[in-house]
Structure 1
Amino acid sequence: MPVRDFVVWAARRSHSRDLLVPRRPKVDPEELDEDSHWELLQQCLTDTALPLEARTARAVLLLFGQHVTRMAALPADALATVDGHTVLILDRTPHPAARTPRPPPHQAHPAGAARRLTAHHIPVRPARTTVLVQLAQDLPPAVLAPMLGLHVITAQQWRRRAARRLDRLP
């Protein structure tokens, strides 16, 4: 338990007097450089040595910045084959010609999904940060929030971070 939390807890229960413990400043999460981001995405499309579910999870992460918990919640039939192409179906009405590939991806616990992505050399947090900053540069928070399932305040925070990043560019 961080010291600040303990001091606040103790003061609220009259175990100590009120003390001021400053908050630790937030550190912006690390991002991937643009070349690394596109190289990882290219591997999703071409590296058949990676399991299909790892390639799919990696693509969803690198394209949409989705949190691992959302990827783990995707149903097994979200990955299907349509006209000989593997597709990810994210809406509730699948294409009539869609059929689930063999073997289908399985639903997984988010921690396990994160470990599997990391085992396949996918830096989850930096990848997600990179994508969210890129999307926030191009989309207003009112569009970004519902598109990615974010709270509008969270989308505004990503937009501010994207603006700070643009200010630092030469």
Structure 2
Amino acid sequence: MPNPTSSPNDSPASSRTRQTTPRFQVPSLKILAGKAVKQRHLFFDLRNQELPPEIVTHHIQPIIDQLVSEREKSYFLQLEERQEKIAELSSELQQQGWFSKLLSWTLGLGLTGLHIGIYFILKANDDIPDQTKLAFISSVPASFFVGLCAGACCLPRPLAWTFAYFRTPRIPSKQVIDLNEEAMKDSLTP
């Protein structure tokens, strides 16, 4: 039975086509302008002008976020490379025979010098008995051998790492992104 309110032109097929046709929204002029100047250098030339937040959030901020993430990745890669260089140089120093010998002799002679220096201070003091002074000076070889052993066993690894750490150039912790430089890179690329 036909519906009394429907017209003869209304058919079920025509009502379906009306429902399925998508609505086309015309983008705003701001969005169209943002798409037109999609190249970075044109955006950065507009930096002294106040831009609408829509253009900033949709077009400019993603570019800046991408530059920041690229710079962060580069920074962390440089840090990893530096740590590898430090470890490599440190292991090279530890494997050199002269390095541990130099450290052991330096520490042995340093402790001996300290021991003899204390002896001369004790010798100048007349309140200390001569037997104590003689016992102190006779223990000089013991301090020399303690220095030799400690220098050969304990110092090479930390000192090799310290030398390698200060010899390897540091990476600046503050990374600055020059937007003008980035814009020039983009304007020169075809």
Normalised-by-shorter TM-score class = under 0.3
Q: Counting strand residues as a fraction of each chain, which structure ranks higher? A: 1
- When the two structures are superposed, what TM-score results if normalisation uses the length of structure 2? 0.21
Q: Counting helix residues as a fraction of each chain, which structure ranks higher? A: 2
- When the two structures are superposed, what TM-score results if normalisation uses the length of structure 1? 0.23
Q: Which structure is richer in relative contact order (CA contacts within 8 A, separation 6 or more)? A: 2
Bigger Rg over Cα:
2
